[in-house]
Structure 1
């Protein structure tokens, strides 16, 4: 099973995982790393490395970060390895919920592509969705 490490600014990682667990129960193979951008980059890198070791079962690790270009992402990029570690930016709650029930016995590349698409699909303008259900005379 592919492990998942969520790396974000402040306490967002822990809170996203907490919210997901409130909905679906304990998330197996997930770790959250919330960082203070003022922290020492080497300390952050070591915390991420430790989390990767904890969730890695040999099938690879997917790192989810809050935004491309932020400290969590730029440090996570240093862990990128073909077929072993991938990074997807822009994590949201629907992504974690889907990963909790999705068969993570696919390839790391397949999972990364799927969850990126799924995350984008779950960003919506509410009025557009609601208007589709209302017939106008």
Structure 2
């Protein structure tokens, strides 16, 4: 089973995981790392490395980060440089997290494609999606 690790500035990752669990139920092999103002890159890197070490039996790790180039992304990139079983995607959203749990048993390439598709499809001009007769 693929493992999910979310990393964000502030509590976004933790709250996305809690919200996803409200929708899909209890989940396994899912972790959230929330970067606080008191922490730096080394603390995030160490927490991420610990999760990966504790779950080394996982066939693949998906790391979802909030923004590309930020501390969470850079910490994930450092860890991924030494591990071919890691995929990192930026743009963390609740839709991506739910899609991960629905599709988590797909191959890493298929799952990556699904997550990117879900993220792109999640951006809509909501008012233009409804016609005026829907009320």
Q: Which residue of 1 aligns with 2:90?
A: 89
Question: 1:13 Cα shift?
Answer: 0.7
**Following TM superposition, where does structure 1 have runs of at least 4 consecutive aligned residues deviating by more than 6 angstroms?**
none
Are the counterparts in 2 of residues 83 and 108 from structure 1 also a CA contact under 8 Å? no
Summarize the Cα distance change of 1:108–1:79 in structure 2 as closer, same or farther, 3 Å threshold: farther
Q: Which residue of 1 aligns with 2:70?
A: 70
Are the counterparts in 2 of residues 66 and 90 from structure 1 also a CA contact under 8 Å? yes
CA distance in 1, matches of 2:6, 2:33: 6
Summarize the Cα distance change of 1:56–1:95 in structure 2 as closer, same or farther, 3 Å threshold: farther
Which stretches in structure 2 are left out of the alignment for 5+ residues? none
Matched, 1:98 2:99: yes
CA distance in 2, matches of 1:95, 1:134: 31
CA distance in 2, matches of 1:57, 1:121: 32
Q: Which residue of 2 aligns with 1:11?
A: 11
Q: Which residue of 1 aligns with 2:40?
A: 40
Summarize the Cα distance change of 1:27–1:40 in structure 2 as closer, same or farther, 3 Å threshold: same
The total of aligned residue pairs comes to: 133
- TM-score, normalised to structure 2's length? 0.87
CA distance in 1, matches of 2:30, 2:77: 18
Summarize the Cα distance change of 1:127–1:29 in structure 2 as closer, same or farther, 3 Å threshold: same
Question: 1:12 Cα shift?
Answer: 0.8
Q: In structure 1, the residue corresponding to 2:27 is in which secondary structure?
A: coil
- TM-score, normalised to structure 1's length? 0.85
Which stretches in structure 1 are left out of the alignment for 5+ residues? none
